[in-house]
Amino acid sequence: MNEYKSSDKLPILTQRSSVHEPSELYQVFLKSGQYPPLLKPGSWTKAAPYKEERHHRSPSESIANNYTPTSNDLKIRALRKRTRSLTATNVPLSRHAPPPKLPAPPPPLPPGHHKRQKCGPSGVDPSPSRPLSPMEQFDLTEEHQLWEQQVSGEPTKEDLERYYHYITKEITPDALCPMPDDFLPNIKSRLMPRLLSNPDYQSLRVELSEEIGEDYKFSMRKSIVDYVLKDPAELSRLKINSIPQSYPQKTIRAPVPWHDSFSKAWETQNSQLFIANAVMKQLRHLWDNKYCLVRMVDIVKLRESQLPTDPIEFESLVKKHCNEARETFKSSWVQDCGEIFRMHKSCWGHLVPAGPFQSAALVERFFNCACSLMAIQVREAVQNSLIDFVKFFQLYEEGNDYDGEYNDMRYVYQSVFQLEVILKGTDLQFSPPMAELEAIINKLIGYIVESAHALPRVEHVLFPDLKGYDMVIPAVPLDDKIVYNAREQALDLLRRNFAGPKKYLGLYAKYNPLLDGSASAQVDSFLADDNEPELYGKRIQHFQSQHEELLTLSTTVPLNMIQLNCNDINVLLAKRPTLLADKIITSLVNKNREMNRQLCHRYDEVSTKVYESPANTEQLVELVEYVKEVSTVTFYQMNDEVKAAAKRLLTLLDYANFSDEDLRLNNELFGWPAKIEPMFEVSQLKLASKREEAELALKNRAKEFEDLLQQHQDEIDTFKEKELPRSIDEIRKVIQQLEDLNKKIEETKELALSINNEEELFEWEVTPFPQVQALTTSKEPFQRLWTTALEFHEKHDKWMNGPFLELDAEQVEEEQDNMWRTMHKLSKGFGDLPNPKRSAEGIKMRVQKFKENLPLIQVFCNPGIRDRHWKIMSDIVGFDLKPDPTTPLTKMLEYGLTKYLEKLEDIGAAASKEYGLEKAMDKMMLEWKDICFNFVPYRDTGVSILSAVDDIQVLLDDHIVKTQTMRGSPFIKPFEKEIKSWEEKLVLVQDIMDDWLKCQATWLYLEPIFSSPDIMAQMPEEGRKFGIVDNYWKEIMTEAIKDNHALVVVAQDNMLGKLQESNRLLEEIQKGLNSYLEKKRLFFARFFFLSNDELLEILSETKDPLRVQPHLKKCFEGIAKLNFTD
């Protein structure tokens, strides 16, 4: 058979001539001739190559020898006998075929690129290898790939067919390593949960899982085939010249020298790293066997505690666990670690310096190494505690949001936190709030981490003398990534469970009227209206059903992680509809009681009223009408109200309990209708009799009244015969008689009105009684005659004999004119009555005679007459004419001044003119006495400014015009000096106000500018001048505020001069300021686009570049804003 092993052809087998199916051996030969076997059949080693069939090698000697062809003949038992390793030159590539001829390899890599160079002859290490740039490494990689392609060549179509045949057909499933159990779950863990839980994707998920399994099997088959074909002899045996090349993977390393640093690090670790020390191993062993399961939070105990609990109690429970774990680490673990150090002192005792002058660096490093190991273990405990703490909440990662109505069967896990639903104001809130719940979780994460802080190092156990030193195991900081991730995960899980409680509160939305008081307001509004009893019943039933509904609400509401305790709020809410229903019932009871009481009172009033005895006709008629109205209308209305009371009673019987008073009141009310009706018949008969008596009495009164009117007329006729007596006392007696008669006439008017009223009450025709008005008309002329006569006698005596200077000429003239007109009319009216006519004409003549004295009265009783006028008039008449305060008019008439009347009238007219001018001047001065300037504070400068001067300026202009007009009058000479002084004062006020307002306007414009230190530094001369103006201004305003009366303010010393000087300086300052701004615009032409105010705003704050920001749009086209950096 050996000759066939080396032959390329299979041995020739004779085929049966029979028509039967070929034998099994023949079929094997046929198949092996076309596709030689790839794997070793019946081997315990999975996927062993067929080439191992001819060798007697152990699995260790044969596994992976295709990757290292020089190890094909390697025998493990022979390794001990060899003193040096075989070289590649004395070991052939394969026994089965000579090494093939390969193309020349690519140029060698630079020295030291992939391997360490040997030391030179002097024993000094060569220089570090030269680093290659990334592009050089890419070039070398591409050259190596080209070399491999030249070696292997391009596969033919037959090569590809045989290659894929071996992959898909020649490897049995038992030769494949099964897919790891966590392989498919790891793939699924990278998918979104909604994709895994969505039933619509179930078939797609099954297809993808099957596809992953097929891809895995194909990859395993391909890996086995690629491994076998690494051997060139197998390529030849399997009749495959070349196989497809995999997609090249290009990797590079950083182009930096690394060999020396790596060597030094290797040596340093060998000499100074104590991680392999027995003590370290024992520390790890102690941790793994005893303390690795210690957690800051015992999740099992936490779940076994009384959950759900209040968040504050949960916080206390977790803190208790953390304290217990800390105490375990501090009192037990650190002590056990110290005991390990004592037991294995031989492993580190040699590191302790023997003398005081020896270095303790090694022993410090040893303990630092132990401390680092313990810190890693503590970190592991903290990390695992955080993981467990997060896993504790991961049970509730689905959250508690729900659609539709709440169903407590949806949440099967025991809740952790119990929140109270409380009423705060008019809103439902959680206690504690959600934000506080987040804060508690945040604090617990920090407490878990901090419970591992400040744990003592093992040196404190070994060396008690170090108690004073602060030597602690490094702990996990609060800002560590694992802490941050745990905090974020825990808070995220917590927040997922916020939606449910908030949504559950929506269940109480329909009870908002009970919470915010609107239900109570609606009840108040309902009770304020007059509603039917049926509506009261519906309202009461509504609130009672609300009460029953609230009592059926769940008191505890599990919502996954959170459970709501709604007992208190349910009880509170359930009370409110009950209170509102009771309020309606109580209101209805009170309303019913009050209405019944009022209705009974009305019945009582009716019964009392119908039995009254009228005192007069008016009361009689009213009572008749009342009885008629009550018996025909009111009685039936009250009966309807009784029926309404019956309805209210039927409604209340279902909800309320009545007191004895209510029962008595109801009985009384329902008995009134039958009792009141007979009363009306008795009252009507009685009132009919009374009416007949009253009508007879009224007729008698009317007849007596007519007789009384005739008596009064006879009394008036007596005045037709009376003549005016000479005695004033007689006149007064007659007037008294007229006044008495007037009273009687007024009484007759009232009596006539009374009779007419009674006639109207009885519905008779009203008697007009024209005699009443005739009495008044016939009496009135005599009343005027005698009254005017008395008035003239009294006034004439006063005019003629009273103090002459107290008379008012205008009033005297008006009174005597009225008297004359009255007597003139009366004399004409008394045409057929000689005595009254004669009396009227006598008084008229006396009034006319006194009228001749009016010109003298108008001259001498003029209020403008002064001593100078009396002197002039005395000079005219030739004697002293000035009267004393008691001089009467009769004395003045005795002088016979009629012949001087024309001259005296001229003097009186001049005196009147002068008096008018004097009064006008006094009036102007009086008006200015109360005129005040109005001042307002200006910003925070401490200085006030003048405001609201329009009214003052209008008044000033008006008075100046009046004063100048008065000065031009020919009658001003007596007080010309005063009017001239007043004019000068008004002109001064006008000048001061003009300069004052001008100065103020300019000062207000310049003050903000020269308040800037930058402007003062750039314009020193203008700044000095403005300082002078500012001082003047502050002095003037300070004095003005002390007394703001206008005439006092303008009386300041040299006020006008200071204001004029200030205005002159301000004009110079403005010229300098304009020149300064023009200079700045010439330096930077963009400033021409800005106004003076805008430019000054920039220049006044040169240290603040941001002040230019608002003006960029004007200066530069296309620039709106700049971002300034620090």
Q: What is the mean pLDDT of each run of 10 residues along the chain (1126 residues)?
A: 38 45 64 76 78 74 72 68 41 41 51 40 46 75 79 82 86 86 87 84 89 90 86 83 78 64 72 75 90 88 86 90 91 90 84 78 84 90 91 87 83 86 85 89 91 87 70 88 91 89 85 82 79 77 82 86 87 85 78 77 74 68 71 75 77 72 74 72 69 69 72 71 70 75 75 70 68 70 74 72 68 77 76 75 76 69 68 72 70 68 68 75 83 83 81 84 78 76 84 87 80 78 85 86 84 86 86 78 69 65 63 69 70
Token match 């001990």: residue? 80
Token match 């990689």: residue? 141
CB neighbour list of residue 182: distance below 8 Å, 6 or more residues apart: none
Do the strands 934-938 and 427-431 form a parallel or antiparallel pair, or are they unpaired?
unpaired
What Å distances lie between residue 2 and 12, 27, 28, 99, 960, CA to CA? 15, 21, 19, 21, 152
Q: Which of 605, 585, 604 is nearest to 665 (CA)?
A: 604
DSSP states along 470-503: --B-----TT-HHHHHHHHHHHHHHHHTTHHHHH
Contact in structure between 245 and 226 (CB atoms under 8 Å): no
Contact in structure between 448 and 487 (CB atoms under 8 Å): no
Q: Which amino acid is at 1073?
A: L
Rounded to an integer, what distance in angstroms lies between the CA atom of residue 1060 and that of residue 996? 9
Tokens matching residue 389:
């703490």
Q: Can you give the pLDDT at residue 25?
A: 63
Task: For the chain, report the end-to-end CA distance as a whole number of angstroms.
Answer: 94
**Sign of the Cα pseudo-torsion (823, 827, 829, 833, in order):** positive
DSSP states along 645-709: HHHHHHHHHTT----HHHHHHHHHHHHHHHHHHHHHHHHHHHHHHHHHHHHHHHHHHHHHHHHHH
Total number of residues shown for the chain: 1126
Rounded to an integer, what distance in angstroms lies between the CA atom of residue 1023 and that of residue 1069? 8
Q: Is the pTM of this model over 0.75?
A: no
Q: Can you give the pLDDT at residue 327?
A: 92
What Å distances lie between residue 237 and 231, 234, 307, 850, 1032, CA to CA? 10, 5, 73, 174, 121
Q: Cβ of 479: how many Cβ atoms within 10 Å?
A: 8
The CA R_g of the chain, rounded to the nearest whole Å, is: 65
Q: Can you give the pLDDT at residue 113?
A: 43
Tokens matching residue 1095:
């430019």
Q: Can you give the pLDDT at residue 325?
A: 92
Rounded to an integer, what distance in angstroms lies between the CA atom of residue 527 and that of residue 190? 66
DSSP states along 96-136: SSPPPP-PPPPPPPPTTSSSPPPP-TTSPPPPPPPPPPHHH
